[in-house]
Amino acid sequence: MRKLIYVPIVHTETDMGSVSESLKEKYIEKYGQSKWLDHVNKIDSLWDCIEGELDALGLCYKNLKIYQDGLPNCGVEEKIVRDVAEKGSKNYRLLIKLSGKGAQLIGTEDPKLLIEEYKIIQSALGQTKEKSKDMIDEYKKKAEKQLTERDKYISKRINETLKDNETGILFIGIMHKVNEFLPKDIKVDFLNIAV
């Protein structure tokens, strides 16, 4: 039997990489500085809860595979995780903690799909308000199809790499529906987080 712990997440500012500053500016412009700080604090609390809940599960780390939203299947996954963790990401620090206990980090996403999404987001953020709205509308039209393609790829990666008597942890954004594409022999348990 194969088991997957499904962890719905919200990305931290650090996780967003080179578009984080633009996203932060847009958020503050729309909602204000104090709402931004509330948002950051809530996300930090969420990650503290996730880490605590995972610690409480008493997992067997030598049979544990880690799958991460936004982590490309590229051969340099560990370097990416270390680089983002060093910048302060609680998400990626948790990945390092788990892999340090013996869990195996797995490249999770199709790099081509990630680059495509990055270009769309970057383009939308660089536009004026009027043009930005058009870009956002265009992005929304493509987003559902693209998200489905990403979810199918992620489920395929999990199916290919998660073996019998192994457990996986999938850290995945709340908009994803990877669970809908997983094979029936993978038992999915959602991690319940109360923040």
The pLDDT confidence band at residue 131, using thresholds 50, 70 and 90, is low
Query: In this structure, is the dihedral angle defined by the CA atoms of residues 96, 51, 71 and 188, taken in order, positive or negative?
Result: positive
Alpha helices in 57-128 (DSSP H): 77-86, 90-100, 111-125
What global pTM score does this model have? 0.89
Query: In this structure, is the dihedral angle defined by the CA atoms of residues 156, 89, 78 and 169, taken in order, positive or negative?
Result: negative
Average pLDDT, the chain: 89
pLDDT tens digits, one per residue of 5-38:
999 998 877 777 766 677 778 778 888 889 888 9
pLDDT tens digits, one per residue of 134-189:
666 766 777 788 899 999 999 999 999 999 999 999 999 999 999 999 999 999 99
